[in-house]
Amino acid sequence: MTSNEPIEPEPSAPLPAASTERQRAFRLVVGIACLLALLAVWQVLTSFVAYTDDAYVTTNFVTIAPQVTGVIVSVNVANDQEVRRGDLLAVIDKVPFQLVVDQRKAAVQEAAVNHKLVNDELKAAQDRLAAATAALQQASGDQKQVALTAADMVSAQQREQVAAREAVDKASQSVVNQDAVAAQAKAALALAEWQLSQTEIHTPADGTVNNLSVSVGDTASAGKALVGIVDAAGWRIVANYKENYIRSLKPGKAAWVWLDTHPWRLYRARIEGVSRGISRGPNQDGILPYVAPTTDWIRLGRRFPVTLKLADPPSDLTLYMGSDASTLIFP
């Protein structure tokens, strides 16, 4: 063998079988220990921290529908415009409603005239009854002095009194009927004036115009939504927490909120309320909230909505209804 020939390394001796088994067992024990440690850490963390990313921002959504049907002659706002309570949103053609008001006013005036007439008739009938009663009393006094002639006179006066009383009863009923007619006319006028006032559609709350889909010339139908207002005063975060967290979440407790629309910052919040009931299925009447127990085909535990409200949010913070959020609470 020359000095230039490569030297082949000697093959290492194989490890004993017992040593290999010990290494495998050691790795298994270490793996199980790490898993148990992670589970213990998770259990400790979840005992002191309640976290969920199943949360969203919401507020009240005011659906505005006209109370009367008519043609829209003016739209005074634009989509996504901020509005204040009482601002004029749209105007429905007033002409047909004004004509009805004028008609109802004429009916009220006519009822007032008729009411005066029947009252005058009642007063006249009452005067005739009073005169007939006085005449009857006079005739009755004369009867004691002149038997036959006075008797005929009393009979005639009695008939006149009966007729006068019937006239009073009839006039009184006419007054009652005319009172009802006048009341109906006034009620019809009040309704017509109210309908006229409803041709101007005003916003009932501060907020932002959303989903405006009407224009001048469209027909507005009573009870059919024209536009929605995202309420500026009802902002809150609804976080769905698992059952094992609920017992320790109480109104007033502090929380932290991560908004996906404003990432990399935590906002302080407080618990406003914890739902005491949820629906077990999606096909209920909708009064109870329903939180789907499955996510991406994974069956999760039941979750209950917890309502949070931001504490002293910055004045320049803009919230968006339906946007995602994450919440952190220290029970």
Q: What is the pLDDT of residue 98?
A: 95
Both structure tokens of 37: 């440690």
Cβ atoms 257, 269 nearer than 8 A: yes
Give the torsion sign (CA, 260, 266, 270, 271). Answer: positive
pLDDT, tens only, 203-251: 999 999 998 888 999 999 999 999 999 999 999 999 999 888 888 899 9
Cα(294)–Cα(330) distance, integer angstroms: 26
pLDDT, tens only, 109-150: 887 877 666 666 656 656 565 655 555 555 555 445 454 444
Kind plus residue range of the DSSP H or E element containing 308: strand 303-310
Q: Tell me the domains of the chain and their CATH numbers.
A: 63-93+199-229 (2.40.50.100), 95-197 (1.10.287.620), 235-329 (2.40.30.170)
Residue with tokens 């008609």: 103
Q: Say what angle helices 147-197 and 95-143 make with each other, to 10 degrees.
A: 170
Q: Residue 322 phi/psi, 5° resolution?
A: 95, -5
| DSSP β-bridge partners for residue 51 | 328
What pTM value is reported for the model?
A: 0.69
Residue with tokens 């007032």: 112
Task: Classify residue 326 by burial, with Cβ atoms within 10 Å: 0-12, 13-18, 19+.
Answer: middle
Both structure tokens of 234: 């009802």
209-228 burial: b if 16+ Cβ within 10 Å, else e: bbebebeeeeebeeeeebbb
Cα(307)–Cα(270) distance, integer angstroms: 9
Highest mean pLDDT, choosing among 9-23, 125-139, 191-205, 266-280 = 191-205
Under the banding of pLDDT at 50, 70 and 90, the label for residue 257 is: very high
Residue with tokens 């908004």: 259
Under the banding of pLDDT at 50, 70 and 90, the label for residue 1 is: very low
Nearest to 157 by CA among 172, 142, 177: 142
Average pLDDT over the chain, rounded to whole?
80
Nearest to 164 by CA among 200, 210, 127: 127
Q: Strand 88-92 vs strand 200-202: parallel, antiparallel, or unpaired?
A: antiparallel
For 61, 80, 226, 261, the CA distances from 211, given in Å and listed in that order, are 11, 8, 9, 21
